[in-house]
Chains A and B, each alone.
Chain A
Amino acid sequence: MVHLHTTFIATAYGFAAFVLCALFVWAALDYRAQCKALAELEARRAKKK
């Protein structure tokens, strides 16, 4: 009974942890990508001036 409970509980916690980690990684990578794109565009504008 305890073993069966552990399987269900671990699956639920594992799924929640996976989704939250994926969200964190997505938010961090998107932020990094936007910072990089903005820096590149500003550098290009500065070079033109």
Chain B
Amino acid sequence: MPRTPRMKMSELANPNRFMRFSRWMIPLFAALALPLLAYGFYLGFQAPPERDQGYMFRIMFVHVPAAWLALGIYTVMAVAALGTLVWRHPLADVAQKAAAPFGASFALICLVTGSIWGYPTWGTFWEWDGRLTSMLVLFLIYLGIIALWRAFEEPLLAAKAVAILTLAGFINIPIVKFSVDWWSTLHQPASVFRLGGPTMHAAYLTPLIFCALGFSFLFGAMLMVAMRSEILRRRVRTLAIFAAQEVR
């Protein structure tokens, strides 16, 4: 029977195969991330000062990729939640559990760097407007998901509860994305992912894309390390249960 791409993906569902696959994918992703980030920051710091903000636009190269990743990671987690509930994919809940701390961290980076950028630009560190508040809600949802994972002893039971919470929380993702269009807000409207194409000048857009790719590969490498840890943690748990049963 010929091997189809679909079969190859299903083969990766096997944790042993994932362990072998990720062993060489982690250094590859890390090796891609570092030059992409270095080149992105180099280009970004060569760009001319922006008309209104001067050099303050440089914060964009960490703030915007962090925001994109916070939203993207949650979307991946929502797909993984479907994988847990609908397809019972053996690695879906592993990926979901491993990704949550990274999503929370990128949301935190986005909030803090946004506040630092906001003070000299808007005159305030914080404003309870649609974009900032919905991003804070996303960060709190991530924390809730991490807390729920820790509340259950049995990983499969936790996976179902977390999957339901993740899917319910997904409603916040379009709210974050479209908040700048729906409500009057201090935050600028979308300037990259918009129907009419990016409005940003290439001098700023090119380094931003390189930085976003670099951060994405960095996240991919760290996610695979965390997934490997989670697979090992479950093996340790199973072996410990067997050992306890043998003692009895």
* A residues apposed to B, CB below 8 Å: 1-2, 4-6, 8-9, 11-13, 15-16, 19-20, 22-24, 26-28, 30-31, 34-35, 37-38, 41-42, 44-45, 48
Q: Which of A11, A20, A22 has the most CB of B within 10 A?
A: A20
* B residues apposed to A, CB below 8 Å: 54-56, 58-59, 62-63, 66, 101-102, 105, 108-109, 112-113, 116-117, 119-120, 218, 222, 225-226, 228-229, 232-233, 235-236, 239-240, 242-243, 246
Contact check: which of A5, A15, A41, A44 meets B56 at CB < 8 Å? A5
Residues of B within 8 A of A23 (CB): 101-102, 105, 222
Residues of B within 8 A of A27 (CB): 222, 225-226, 229
Residues of B within 8 A of A6 (CB): 55
Please judge, given known A-B contacts A12-B63, A27-B225, A27-B226, whether A19 and B56 are in contact too, CB under 8 Å.
no
Closest 3 CB pairs of A and B: A34-B232, A12-B113, A16-B62
Residues of A within 8 A of B62 (CB): 12-13, 16
Q: Is the CB of B239 within 8 A of A31?
A: no
Complex A-B: 16 CB contacts under 8 Å = A5-B54, A5-B55, A5-B56, A8-B56, A8-B119, A9-B59, A13-B59, A15-B109, A15-B112, A23-B102, A23-B105, A23-B222, A27-B222, A27-B225, A31-B232, A48-B246
Q: Is the CB of A12 within 8 A of B226?
A: no
